[in-house]
Amino acid sequence: MVMDSEAAGAAIYKAEPAWRLVWNDLDSSAVATHYALEEAIGQTVAEKAAPATVRMWQGPQGISVAKKDIRTASGQRAAQMMKDVGWPVYVRQSGGTAVPHGPGTLNFSLFLPRPQEPQWSIEAIYRALGLPIQMMLADCFGLPSTFEAVPGSFCDGNFNVVIYGKKVAGTAQVWKGGPAGMSSGRPGYILAHATLLTHLDREAAVSALNAFYQLATNTRPVEVETVGTVQQFTNLEAEELDQKVQAGLLAALEELTGVEKIEAPSEEEWRIARSLEAHCHPGFYVK
């Protein structure tokens, strides 16, 4: 049941006339293509070739960064050195700081056509993004969660998903272009995405994030005690936990959107993503 405090997020799901749920596993495509799908799906939603979309996906071990982190020579060197030790760096379209990806994480993205008139606040978008995660945590595990900042955590902000003071999901968003639709000069979309830590090796992930920033900015900003995983609040093994998390998210999304069917990205979205792979590599942003 959606509570009154979640009304702002739930209203966004009700406002869109149609929804699509997308899931894709890693396949033989280049890893960068899966990152580029974020931009590709955004484009099809902006052009109204696809409805508002929720995407869930998992990637291999790596670090997701904003463009600002790799625009410097030291950031470029850091990205190369992290790749050499098994933590390749991929560039996302939103802001914030570095986020760990890989086994024990689940990426969750929300795509909306940018409306003609101001309709939603940044806060409302974050609440819509986090709502299915909060519903899943409560319904599947009986875990209360809040939105709040956790100083010392990775990619900190006011809309981390937090369980008992530990950050279990980081969030970011970006608004691109103008009003959606082909009649617009530059069709736009809203992308908000979260990375949920299910059973990630926290120590290894935080060590990798700090190693990147030590090389890029001579800082070590992430404190391991600020970071949590869903597993540490349950007694489930990784495989069972993943199945329960995924089923719980799908149940929450069905309640919010009315959609039961899960789809793969369209062939056109894969085509666009392959054309945008370069945007996900740090070397694309060398000055």
* Residue 140 annotated in active site: no
Rounded to the nearest 5°, which phi and psi values hold at 129? Answer: -60, -45
pLDDT in tens, 201-219: 999 999 999 999 999 999 9
pLDDT in tens, 89-101: 999 989 999 999 9
The confidence score (pLDDT) of residue 25 equals: 77
Contacts of 103 (CB under 8 A, 6+ apart): 58, 60, 61, 199, 200
Point out the catalytic residue in the list 98, 137, 155, 208. 155
- Identify the residue with better confidence: 59 or 41: 41
The confidence score (pLDDT) of residue 206 equals: 98
Confidence label for 2 from pLDDT (cuts 50, 70 and 90): very low
Confidence label for 3 from pLDDT (cuts 50, 70 and 90): very low
The confidence score (pLDDT) of residue 1 equals: 39
pLDDT in tens, 169-189: 999 999 998 877 656 578 899
Distance between CA 113 and CA 45 in Å, rounded? 6
The confidence score (pLDDT) of residue 91 equals: 97
| Predicted confidence (pLDDT) at residue 4 exceeds the cutoff of 60 | no
Q: What is the mean pLDDT of the chain?
A: 93
Are β-strands 262-263 and 19-24 bridged in parallel, bridged antiparallel, or unpaired? parallel
Amino acid identity of residue 222, one-letter, is V
Q: How many helices (H) and strands (E) does the chain have?
A: 7, 11
The confidence score (pLDDT) of residue 30 equals: 82
Region of 225 on the Ramachandran plot (φ > 0 left; ψ -120 to 50 alpha; else beta):
alpha
Q: Which domains does the chain have, with CATH numbers?
A: 4-285 (3.30.930.10)
